[in-house]
Amino acid sequence: MKENGIALITGATAGIGQATAIKLASMGYNLILTGRRFERLKALKVQLEAIGNKILILCFDIRNWGEVQAAIDNIPDSWKKINVLINNAGLAAGLSKIQDGSVDDWDQMIDTNVKGLLYVSRMVLPLMIVNGSGHVINIGSIAGKEVYDGGNIYCGTKYMVDALSKSMRRELIEQNIKVTAIHPGAIETEFSLVRFKGDTKKAAKVYEGFENLIAEDIAESIEFVLNRPARVNINELIIMPKAQPAAGVIIKNKNL
């Protein structure tokens, strides 16, 4: 297999991260896959090694600075030339108005979506700078472009991903590092199951009556972004289901 370099993907145990791992493996990347669920990381490693890719798994909680530091500091030297960083790990917790919200949910979203992304970036960007090139792809959300009722803190974290992506793009260009932000609308992954804390009925209802995006749609957009010529950067993409014209607006039961 043609080797295309090394990509580190956070949140590779499910959804967008897992689909992106499979896509990037097919493109010839060797992969550093991260997440908290070790068994899933191990299964994905076995699956992708069987098609000839080299896979390193790192199991850590992205909210814990000490764990992030130790995991990335201990990457073997042969894996340190990271060409692509996909900052994907993230979640929504709850869908309450601020006056009814859970402070634990807020902490979890801010710690994962904002601080976790920063912690991993803080560790990986210096490696890219030493290498003299790189490409960071941050997974934001339409919720980081427009707010919707009950989205409040989740939206706030994704507005921050949008802002951080713009800051990174300005600060890293002279180090020859591209930065792209991808902002999707509703994709059926484990996202709603996590948001509604395992309530399968509530989660399934989100995707009833319209054709949602699938994780592979985002993996394909990442393939497109990575395959542009060196002179081109895709700064950002907003990718929506046809039936979702705006954040929090889904046209249901109209055959869309």
Catalytic residues: 154
Task: State the sign of the Cα–Cα–Cα–Cα dihedral 171, 177, 178, 181.
Answer: negative
Which of residues 61 and 133 has its CB atom nearest to ligand NDP in the complex? 61
Q: Which of 35, 94, 150, 185 binds ligand 8X3 (CB under 6 A)?
A: 185
- 141 near ligand 8X3, judged by CB under 6 A: yes
Q: Which of 30, 53, 121, 141 binds ligand NDP (CB under 6 A)?
A: 141
Selection from ligand NDP, ligand 8X3, none that 114 binds (CB < 5 to 8 A by kind) is none
Closest listed residue to residue 8, CA positions, set 76, 87, 62 = 87
Q: Which one of 69-77, 102-110, 130-138, 140-148 is the stretch in contact with ligand 8X3 (CB under 6 A)?
A: 140-148
Binding mask 177-206 for ligand NDP (x = CB under 6 A): -------x-xx-xxx--x------------
Q: Which one of 33-41, 69-77, 164-172, 227-235 is the stretch in contact with ligand NDP (CB under 6 A)?
A: 33-41
- 94 near ligand 8X3, judged by CB under 6 A: no
Q: Which of 48, 68, 143, 234 binds ligand 8X3 (CB under 6 A)?
A: 143
Residues in contact with ligand NDP by CB under 6 A are: 11-17, 35-37, 61-63, 88-91, 112, 139, 141, 184, 186-187, 189-191, 194
